[in-house]
Structure 1
Amino acid sequence: MEVPGKKLQAGPSTADTTYCQPCEQDDEILPAEAYCTVCKEFFCSKCASLHRKLKISRSHNLLDKSNMPTSISVHEDKHGYTEPCKTHPEESIKYFCSTHQTLICGHCAVQNHRSCHADVISDISKAFKDEQEYGDVIKTIARLFEDIDLCASDVKKNVDVVAKLGENEVYKLRRYREEVNKYFEEREQALLKLIEKMKIMDDELLGSLKPKYTNLKSKLEEINVKLEGQKNNMIQLFIETKKATKLLGGLQNDLADIKKDNVIHHYEFRKDPATERLIASDTGLGTLEHIATEPHKIASASAESDHSIKGPTVQGDGTRETKEISKLTVGQATVDLTILRFTSAMGIPMKSQTDNKDCYLSSMLKLTGSRLLIADFCNNKVKVVDMQTNSLVSQISVPGQPWDICHLPGDRVAVTMSNKGVQFLATGGQLAIGDHFEVGGDCRGIAYHEERLIVSFYYGKVAVLNMNGHVIRQIERDGNGKKLFQCPLYLTLVCEDSTDFIYISDQGRNTITKLDMNLNIIKTFQDPALKGPRSITALGNQLLITGCISNNIMILDLSTGQMTQLIGMKKGIGNALFAYCSPQQGKLLVTDAYNNSLKVFNKIA
């Protein structure tokens, strides 16, 4: 009987001769030159070379002729040990070290596990299939299969959820847009009908007056003809003149009645303030709120929302019922500024290569997106900063020294320019110069309200102007001739309970003054910690005020009238001109006198 890998031949060396096993399968007898400890096979030189090249076997350990076993019985094992040891590839794993809970070979047992308790695998594995450990592994595998299938099912469900969620929210958005469009169409039609009604009434009135003055003119011509015909007959001329005198009195009365009735309806279209605020808002129409939902609850939440795909509902009185999400409105702050804390961060360089002087950044205004508009007083420029990249991205020269900026409808702003009046700029894309008008005096603070501009002047005047610069009303002194303001450099508008008010900072008197829209003084605020108030900006029901002389930034709570310091000189505030705060971005931006950088402060979590 032949043994694989051995060729029985006559002669004394038959038992010691080993041959290539792969070649032997093809009835080719070649001496073995190498032995694979993984495959447990003998190879000739050609087969050994091929074994080293194949991807599946190139990492196997091959023993050369001087080190390979001399007998096939060496690599045969009646117990079937075939797993090679990672540390000693030429050896098979035969033992289990219970001390280290690891599989080892004989070499490992001698070298590293002499003091350990090692069991022979062939002894302890006889009944292993019936033991709990094997059963637990099988159960774990089964559970893992189930969990994977369940996870795959959840992923598939969420794929459907993503599709449905997008469809649902787009549907609701478009339904709401239709309601908004319908509302504005109805309002437009109502206004057009009213205009048409006024026009018809005036046309009818004027039409009724035409025959009256035509008749008067005919009677007057008749009198005139009679008088002309009696020029040569003095007696008859005297008689006709006396008769004409009485008739002319009646005609004059009739003409007076016509003039009295000749009154038409004078009217003009005025934009709705609420609509203007909506157009200027970044959250018009609505917002998209991220709802934190646990992964396993997403599908069920979507299923529930699928049953409630409804747009805004119209109630019996015609009002629309909608849900406002995270909308910051003037008079209703979502963040209490007094609890915020800030730490200094790297500033934003503001001086450009074309600037001839140090920067004097007198005002900031947030535009759409991440853009911030900044007035550079000394360099006669308005600049744009990108708050995401913290960099100066563009600038435009203006014909005066820009001081303060306010929003206008339609991607426009108005800029006060010291003694040069007011300049309009377009901000939709690149900054562009628009119209301009002159005003008498050094204009500083500015705000927009219902096609009007409220402007403060350096030497104490506050005026309401139309969009062409004509003064509608103004205040400067009280009834006793005393100046109401000393140096009102900034102002802002705040809507409180649907009523608009003006707040003005007076650097000369260290006060904040509240006025109604007719420029009547309502109240004055003052605090010892605030000196030299400059910029004044509204965030909800709180005002952010810079103290140029007190080297701090204060918060005025409009509900209580109390002032609180937000940040002071110890944190790097000095000669503060203007401050802009974005609680959502966790940033406070501050300008100070003759500083070529915009100071940045990050909120401390």
Structure 2
Amino acid sequence: MAVPGKKMPKNFSSSTSMGSDQDVKVYCQPCDRDGPRLSAHGYCKDCREHLCETCFVVHKRHTLSRHHTLLDKNSMPQTISPASVHSSQPDLTKPCTKHMKKMIEFYCWNHKALLCSVCVTLEHTGTSCKVSYIPDISGQIINSKEHLDILKSLETITEQCYKKSEDVKKITAKSNSSLTDVLADIKKFRTEINQRLDKLEKQAEDAAKAIQQENNKNLMTVETTCNDVTKSMKTSSDSIKHLNTSKQTDNLFMELKFAEEMIKDYEKSVNQLASFDVKEYNFIPNKAISNLLDKERSLGTLTEKSLKQRSPPPAVDVKSRQTSHQGQICVKASKDKDRCDITGMTLLTPGLLIITDWDNNAVKMVNTRSQSVTDQLQLDDKSWDVTSVTSTELAVTLPDKQNIQFISVCSNKLKMKQTLKVDGECYGISCCQGKLVVSFLYPAKLQILDTNGTILTTVRGKNIFSNPIYVTTNTNSIYVSDCEKKTITRLNWQGEVIGSYGGKTGPSGITLSNDGTVLVCDSTRNVIEEIAGDCSTGKVVLKDLNRPHALCWCAETSKLYFSCITKQNKHDNFVQVFKLL
């Protein structure tokens, strides 16, 4: 056993292997890692470390350790066991994702998050979270159950990825094969159209050529008759002049009588020539064909059938969420002539929110980090809803004009692009995998279109929709908020109803969270409710709100943005921000 107060040999270090016959003098272990070796003044039972006087005082004050059990100099262990001696500096070399200059040192059990010291100080204090220092809890991780479970999960996911890759490879080959047939069918159809048009063209050309031949034939008849008459008239005229000069009275008398008869005959011939009606012609295109080409926007439609093997999803129970108000963003701009009336919103990036302002005929770009309106595009009519088509393109519904306005986003500026005419008052809009899903009022219906405006599917029926005001989508489903039927309706991409959630009084804005649940505003009950993806269950996640209307979800930050429409500036000119965990 070591004698208290005995000095350590100079060549002794904390990494030295120690047996039962040689215990280490008690010294401050935290200081020993990166500072001078100081005598121990106390001991922490939770950290299992000896502390010098300074570390002992700080340990009682620090947020993470002030509740630890401390022993004074007289009560502390008088030796340092080999297990408690750190062989080297803890291997904490992973930088924090939020604070890159700091290393990850702690773990929050409440949020299951790796933290640096700044994270602990700012967001995960000891009063709200259970935080542990990683070296204090990592000792038992080697060959632990968690270690084996994680490895097994990684192997399982790897196998699933391989299988999924092979499955997708097979169905992609099948899909590409069908598209090869589609391309051949398109060529064949175009050839048939060309052949039919060639036939119609030949008919028109033959008709024109027949008229040309008739004109030429009539012209030849006229020229021949006129030449014969002219020649006969000249011969008769010359003969009469000669007989008159030579005073051959008998012959002159007879020649005059012959000429008299000939004139009568030729007058008839000339009069007959005057009856020829030569006409001028113009070509007037077939209006039916012309209108067809003007009206039709595609040569045909690609129908689709999923090759994915689907299984009905199990009923999902909506779990309780922790919520916290993150503040509000003022979206009132200097150009606005009226209070804001935010009816639609979408996120291009976690830092870029796009909103439609109905009363001010505007589309606005909002920086969520600086919490300010950075650009505003004035439209010539009221805009209702907005969706992102690509990372640089938006689509906005203009119900009164029955148009969808495309807008580009470049260098943090909004700019109008092409306009798509639709056949009704378009309100809700959502884009998924290059397809637009649009809800209409009067009559109520839902349409799936491509971005060129070709209608792929139409869903209508009083038993399905009454006032489908908003729509949201993912790769599996389409969800429609109907404020008159007071339901959320779920459809597949073939337009078939596959689920419905009722019991709501005033559903309006709707969005999807990253786990597939549906978040919907209920402006009558002043709540936001979360509904399972299969529409089996639902639960209120935010209540006591001020008539929430439009909303969107940010998966990266777990933040929910929503607007209120109360006809009061103090509510309507702001977008509310909540964090949902």
Q: TM-score range by the shorter chain?
A: 0.3 to 0.5
- The structure with the larger Rg is 1
TM-score by length of 1: 0.45
TM-score by length of 2: 0.47
